[in-house]
Amino acid sequence: MPASTATPPQTSTDAPDAATFRSVLGQVPTAVSVVTAVTPKGPVGVTVGSFTSVSLDPALVVFYGGLHSASAAAVVAAGSFCVNVLSQDQQQVCGAFAGRTGDRFASCTWQPAGNGAPRLDGATAWIECDVEESFPAGDHLAVIGRVRHLSTAWEQGLPLIFHRGRLTRLDPACGRHVPTQRFDWWDA
């Protein structure tokens, strides 16, 4: 492999400022999801851009909501939730659940999931969970969910993506199927 002529990046022991942190981490695309739950006062939901799997055995996922978010706190108090992975044509749903609007659910139709949480019509996938644990993580609240049921709607198309500070779409013309292999090296 030829040697690179690029200058190596400078390293620093100082913490990055918020703008730099956001700019660099904005290079990591993420699917946009709406986390929903049912409370005694009715359904609640919040848009999250930080959702991922944690463990295969047991099946665990995590999402991060604002530390002082009333919606994230309501999801934890409900004890169960549904992660709705939005499809690329659900930008208005994303905006409704990200804002402080009165009735966020007016932006979409939904059905109760098996655990009662709203399952948003038109999403590409749904993951029903019980709250396993929650804890502060910096300026966010980490909520770990034990997956109880999950499904996908292939006919809904591609997921809505957040990248470089804005909503975007995957380009299906560039998509290729890449065979997956176990990551045995990860456990070594």
Mean pLDDT of 2-17: 66
The answer to whether residues 146 and 59 touch, using CB atoms and an 8 Å cutoff, is yes
pLDDT at 114: 95
Measured between alpha carbons, how far is 89 from 14 in angstroms, rounded to an integer? 41
Mean pLDDT of 101-109: 85
Q: Can you name the CATH fold of 30-166?
A: Pnp Oxidase; Chain A (2.30.110)
Reported as a single tens digit per residue, the pLDDT across 155-176 is 667 888 777 777 777 776 665 6
User: In this structure, what are the phi and psi dihedrals at residue 186, rounded to the nearest 5 degrees?
Assistant: -65, -35
> Which tops the pLDDT comparison, 164 or 9?
164
pTM: 0.81
Given the structure tokens 């690029």, which residue do they identify?
6
pLDDT at 73: 95
Q: 93 is written with which tokens?
A: 């749903």
